[in-house]
Structure 1
Amino acid sequence: MPQPLEPFLHDLVGQVAAPTQAWSRRDGQVVPSADGAADVAGLVHADVVLLSGIEASVDGDPGVPVARRSRPDGREVFTSLLRRLDAEHADTGDPRVRLDRTRGVVPGRMEEELVVASTLDVDLRVRVEVALQPSGTPMGAVRQSRPVVPVEVGWTDGAVTWSADGIEVTVAAPDAEVVRDGSRVLLRWDVDLPARSAATVGWSAALAEPEPFVVAAPPQAYEEVALTGADLDPRLAPWLARSVADLASLRLALPGEPGDVFYAAGAPWYFTLFGRDSLWAARLTLPLGLDIARGTLRALARLQGRDEDPRTGEQPGKIPHELRRDDLQLGGFTLPPLYYGTVDATPLWICLLHDAWRAGLPDDDVAGLLPGLEAALGWLTAQTGAPGADGFLRYVSAGSQGLANQGWKDSDDAVRFSDGAWAAGAIALCEVQGYAYEAAISGAALLEAFDRPGGEALRTWAADLSERFRARFWCDPTGEGDEAYPALALDGQGRRVDALTSNIGHLVGTGLLNLDEEWRVARHVTSPALDSGLGLRTMAATDVPYAPLSYHCGSVWPHDTAIVVDGLVRAGLGEAAEPLVQGLLAAAEAFDQRLPELWSGEGAPVPYPAACRPQAWSAAAAVVVARRAGVFGG
């Protein structure tokens, strides 16, 4: 059966105001696909595409697109020249009639203003039309290019309404004639355009959701970060400004708890709470303040596992992987709305709590999260001490019931041997052992600081894990130790999965490795095999499975590079991080200051065409680089 093809995003214009987003072509048009397949372009709210077509024209002419600009308030302006009117009425070849279309998106609302401007010396009467295609298509169907889900449209008092998956849509178009055209809605204005004048019309779509699964966070503008100092790279300021704005657009909360704000993982595919992604984004952006860390910790603690449920992967103390509106069907598997299939979110939750506490999170806030901490530590130690366990934190492929791989590289083919063979069985990823070690040490510090028992046992547990890792994980291709590196993982038979990957960089700064081992890892992650010059490759170019546009076997993910940079700095190896920092700065310039989720590992700015942008942990990479540059005090 052919693999469903995910729609491409690289050439689309996106506007994001969580939980609402709008995507269009570069000319502002949203044109439904000819074969009826769902596409991400259109108006999207909380994982549902509500408008799959938005096409503007003047006297039937969409115009010739000539310009697009982004306004500081987040609105996009699309400019087209109306050459048919020029041909009929102009006495020169110069463009004399144009359409400026301004689109704005805020949580729960999209609006457009259309201005037809003429410098002709004659009066005109023109018809401005916007053709809308109502939809109710879940994002899971979009990702597999399944057919658009039609909706029943209501027509009352000049307003057009429909509902989809609990979301109510109301389209208003003042002074327009509203016409039904099959499944489409046509908004028409017949306007007089005197010589050398302009005419303005507009419309809006308001979205209401009585029972949301995520809600918009209260508005909050970050203070502009002042970048001063003669030695600061000039590429840093615009990148950081764009990234901070993108992070602000991804702010969400759970219903009933609007003050506990977290970052949605990314637009358009992961526009919700994700355990791993939201935790890393909060952790890497701690220099911007403690509110996101506090909100992320609390939101995930509310959803922390209480029971055993093989279908969802829930276990007592476990932090969830993701929260969705409905079941998410992708390829050959289905994820339930609240899904726990992640091996690393639980230790990362513990690490964030510790880091936030060290950064100044008030003791009262920490005390309120101590029951969650103890439950998470209980899950952590139970996994490695279960009957038949070998002391490592592992996951088992869930087959059709969930994700095959449950670390951050969670695609089916992500865990590979250097010769290309796929690893099988209960997988122990190398970086997860580092997270587990750091979580145990961090948890011990928190327990002791708040007069809770168990700190000494956790330190012993961590020391044992470090020794086991040293004995089992290291690959030594030359037999002399000089080129030794940690394996990507151990497979279900205990064999080292010997691909050289970026995962090893996540170990630096966790405490799992000694200084000599950290230096060895630092040499590998900055070697030509892994360092693309635009960030860290997920897999070495020397390994057989490497492909520059493979999702997890050769591409570059900026958060991955930023985590390694941050770890090198924390380990006192900041100088070794410089090539990776320079790569991120070069990538930021190449991608117009908005780093996508991932790009090609070939060392050229080639986008991965289905990558999210903005992506929270990608934007967080700018904060890591700025912190290293001393912007936040070192």
Structure 2
Amino acid sequence: MTESLVRILDGNTFVVSDRRGDIEASATDPSGLFAWDTRFLSRWVLTVDGQRLTALSTDDLNYFEARFFLVPGTGTVYVNATLTVIRQRAVGDGFRESITLLNHEQKPVDVTVRMDVACDFADLFEVKDALPKQGDFDTRVADGTLVMAYDRDTFHRTTTISATPPGRVDERGLEFDVHIDPHDSWAVELSVTPALVHPGAPTFLRAAGAAGDSPRGRLEELDAWVASAPRLVTDSDQLAATYRRSLVDLAALRFSPAIAGTRSLPAAGLPWFMTMFGRDSIFTSLQALPFAPELAATTLRVLGDWQGSRVDDFRDEDPGRILHEMRYGELTAFQERPHSPYYGSADSTPLWLVLLDEYEQWTGDSDLVREFEPEARAALRWIDTYADLQGNGYISYRRRNEETGLENQCWKDSWDSIAYRDGRLPGFPRATCELQGYAYDAKVRAARLARKFWNDPGYADELERQAADLKARFDRDFWVEDGEYYALALDADGTQVDALSSNIGHLLWSGIVDDAKAPIIAAHLLGPSLFSGWGIRTLADNQARYNPIGYHVGTVWPFDNSFIAWGLRRYGFKAEAARVADGILDAAAFFEGRLPEAFGGYERSLTKYPVQYPTACSPQAWSTGAPLLLLRTMLGLETVDNHLIVDPGVPVPLGRIELLDIPGRWGKIDAFGRGLVDVDHPR
């Protein structure tokens, strides 16, 4: 499968163009040069003698660099092109683009090369919602450069464009008169530099996690990043390619908020979510823990430092609550959006506690656990107080910001994702099932931390008592008798929202499922209504709202499947976990190793390849992390004290897997597995 858009990124700076390298952004089109939630370039169109160019091929050189091979005009089988145009683009502080023209004629040619330029300085939310601008624009030519600016009160942004060698510059772009001798070439380098302008000097936008500004420096840093991860040796070339793609994309998505200094955590995904997300960063850090544990450390620190400290209805903030999303654009600056930061997620807080414990178990970093004891206790208080909206001991959610807050504050956060099996939507508050699983797991894990590191055995006993009580009540209140599965949620009246969904797999991961009922849950997950052959659907195909290309109501999410597979292994379902892993990794082959945010939930027998979801983020952090967690799951990697347990359950088609130099509290250890688990997917 090939994408119609070309995406290159560095930190939270990214460029989205068509396959010619051109940018022609409409009101709701996520094309352009973006940094810190602002579009700094909305038009970037190359012509030769007034003709648009035709793409011959596009090379994805690296995550921050692409090359476009082009010819003028449309080209036909009857007319050979006599001029080649090569564009090479690298993202850094903005981007640099070299344009080279090759003359294949036996005579000289004279052409006019022009780059048409424009900038709308749209906030990312304005792009998503097609909102108008409220500030003032200014474009000027100064010293051979084109400077485009936007001002609204104290909010200032500029984009500066220059060329070497210089050409003619006007307010709409740059133009060059080019003479090329026979079989010779001509080249120019264009530089696009965005800036935040404060009183005084402009602040340029360095958002990358890479060392150095040059492509060579970033390549060296990337090579070092990949080399620092465990080395995979496998009979499956496709698995090897997917693994490397995951490591490279994870490197690309690293984001360094100012509060993190030089350390980085995963941004959520391109194009809409190149910023810090609580839930996404936590899930990705969990997936990547055996491969890049430093991401988890930074995620824990940054989210802990930004933990809620007051009651703020505009931001859905409470004391102890872990943030959902941080933004830096115009609408956030003027409090037209609450993302400074916004706290509207009900799962980030218990998941932060889960990551805190899992990180310590894997790395042995007890200092961080002791350092963040106050934040951990505050998070536990939030679960027991602010999150218990109905006083029934369950986490539930209802937004307090009615204008721009999220209706659904679980991971399935689209408007129609939580529904009864007949398609009706419940009222608020809503208590989704996986939130209770996360709360259970958080309390069990926090009890271990309290007993071992916080010197508070009484608190540990109380947390274990609360967890046991929650597990018993959950089994009673959420179990759907006539379907034999756990309800998607409880509504405001405590009535079961009785849809069958993939959320029950998260319950296995959290450990809240009664052992006697686990085989029934596993059978549902791998049954025909949920399992497509490529993966487990977000909603079963016999539910009223099922749609195989509905965002959370029938698509397959690789991240979702990776945690479900981990949950299946927790309860001993080795073969079932292997089937899930095999299906998702098979799908990765059709996306050139880069799993998208989601893909269609169509039955595998209907298609020879997974059907693309039209607006999926790619790369996306927790989809990038999915193959990593599936590797952990297939090899059965778990920690016990200072030891790494290896219990392989590898699908037969993958053959032998060796994961070498796995880092952890044990130093570095190798793990081996051979494909012995039969899977029955059609191939």
Deviation at 1:151, TM superposition (A): 2.8
The answer to whether structure 1 residue 461 and structure 2 residue 453 are counterparts is no
The answer to whether structure 1 residue 55 and structure 2 residue 45 are counterparts is yes
Q: Which amino acid aligns with 1:592?
A: E
Work out whether residues 260 and 299 of structure 1, in 8 Å CA contact, stay in contact via their aligned partners in 2: no
Work out whether residues 259 and 295 of structure 1, in 8 Å CA contact, stay in contact via their aligned partners in 2: no
Counterpart CA distance in 2 for 1:178 and 1:629 is 60
> Structure 1 residues 121, 215: CA separation in 2 closer, same or farther (over 3 Å shift)?
closer
> Deviation string for 1:310-334 (max 9, x for gaps)?
22111111101111114769xxx95
Counterpart CA distance in 2 for 1:401 and 1:96 is 54
> Structure 1 residues 256, 299: CA separation in 2 closer, same or farther (over 3 Å shift)?
closer
- Give 2:4's aligned residue: 11
| Correspondent of 2:66 among 60, 76, 97 | 76
Work out whether residues 234 and 240 of structure 2, in 8 Å CA contact, stay in contact via their aligned partners in 1: no
Once the two structures are superposed, the pairs formed by residues 348-363 of structure 1 within 5 Å of their partners are 348-363=351-366
SS at match of 1:173: strand
- Give 2:288's aligned residue: 285
- Give 1:154's aligned residue: 140
The 10-residue stretch of structure 1 (208-217 or 437-446) with the greater mean CA deviation from structure 2: 208-217
Q: Which amino acid aligns with 2:343?
A: Y
Counterpart CA distance in 1 for 2:186 and 2:569 is 57
Q: Which amino acid aligns with 2:124?
A: M
- Give 1:268's aligned residue: 271
Deviation at 1:175, TM superposition (A): 2.3
- Give 2:121's aligned residue: 136
Once the two structures are superposed, the pairs formed by residues 485-634 of structure 1 within 5 Å of their partners are 485-603=485-603, 604=607, 605-630=610-635, 631=659, 632=662, 633=670
SS at match of 2:580: helix
Q: Which amino acid aligns with 2:244?
A: A
Counterpart CA distance in 2 for 1:361 and 1:190 is 64
Deviation at 1:493, TM superposition (A): 0.7
> Structure 1 residues 384, 249: CA separation in 2 closer, same or farther (over 3 Å shift)?
closer
Deviation at 1:486, TM superposition (A): 0.3
> Structure 1 residues 298, 570: CA separation in 2 closer, same or farther (over 3 Å shift)?
same
Counterpart CA distance in 1 for 2:63 and 2:469 is 54
- Give 1:480's aligned residue: none
Q: Which amino acid aligns with 2:348?
A: A
Deviation at 1:278, TM superposition (A): 0.8
Counterpart CA distance in 2 for 1:284 and 1:73 is 21
TM-score for the superposition, normalised by structure 1: 0.90
The answer to whether structure 1 residue 259 and structure 2 residue 262 are counterparts is yes
| Correspondent of 1:110 among 84, 95, 108 | 95
Deviation at 1:571, TM superposition (A): 2.9
Deviation at 1:59, TM superposition (A): 1.4
Counterpart CA distance in 1 for 2:195 and 2:567 is 43
Q: Give the count of matched residue pairs.
A: 604
- Give 1:169's aligned residue: 159
Q: Which amino acid aligns with 2:40?
A: L
> Deviation string for 1:494-548 (max 9, x for gaps)?
1111110001100113221132222221111111111122222110001111011
> Deviation string for 1:205-241 (max 9, x for gaps)?
12333678994335453234532244xx332111111
Gapped runs of 5+ residues in structure 1?
A: 1-8, 478-482
The answer to whether structure 1 residue 421 and structure 2 residue 424 are counterparts is yes
Work out whether residues 13 and 94 of structure 2, in 8 Å CA contact, stay in contact via their aligned partners in 1: yes
Counterpart CA distance in 1 for 2:388 and 2:311 is 17
Work out whether residues 425 and 493 of structure 1, in 8 Å CA contact, stay in contact via their aligned partners in 2: no
Counterpart CA distance in 2 for 1:406 and 1:179 is 49
Work out whether residues 327 and 337 of structure 1, in 8 Å CA contact, stay in contact via their aligned partners in 2: no
Work out whether residues 14 and 23 of structure 1, in 8 Å CA contact, stay in contact via their aligned partners in 2: yes
| Correspondent of 2:439 among 429, 436, 441 | 436
Deviation at 1:365, TM superposition (A): 2.2
> Deviation string for 1:418-477 (max 9, x for gaps)?
100001121111011110000001111111111332111100000000000011101122
> Structure 1 residues 384, 403: CA separation in 2 closer, same or farther (over 3 Å shift)?
closer
Counterpart CA distance in 1 for 2:243 and 2:64 is 16
| Correspondent of 2:252 among 249, 266, 275 | 249
> Structure 1 residues 132, 195: CA separation in 2 closer, same or farther (over 3 Å shift)?
same
Counterpart CA distance in 1 for 2:531 and 2:197 is 48
TM-score for the superposition, normalised by structure 2: 0.84
- Give 1:234's aligned residue: 237
| Correspondent of 1:201 among 188, 211, 221 | 188
> Structure 1 residues 470, 328: CA separation in 2 closer, same or farther (over 3 Å shift)?
farther
> Structure 1 residues 628, 312: CA separation in 2 closer, same or farther (over 3 Å shift)?
same
- Give 1:20's aligned residue: 13
Work out whether residues 217 and 258 of structure 1, in 8 Å CA contact, stay in contact via their aligned partners in 2: no
Counterpart CA distance in 2 for 1:492 and 1:81 is 62
Work out whether residues 83 and 97 of structure 1, in 8 Å CA contact, stay in contact via their aligned partners in 2: no
Deviation at 1:371, TM superposition (A): 1.4
> Structure 1 residues 435, 176: CA separation in 2 closer, same or farther (over 3 Å shift)?
same
Counterpart CA distance in 1 for 2:435 and 2:354 is 12
The answer to whether structure 1 residue 29 and structure 2 residue 8 are counterparts is no
The answer to whether structure 1 residue 474 and structure 2 residue 479 are counterparts is yes
Work out whether residues 176 and 188 of structure 1, in 8 Å CA contact, stay in contact via their aligned partners in 2: no
Counterpart CA distance in 1 for 2:3 and 2:318 is 38
Deviation at 1:266, TM superposition (A): 0.7
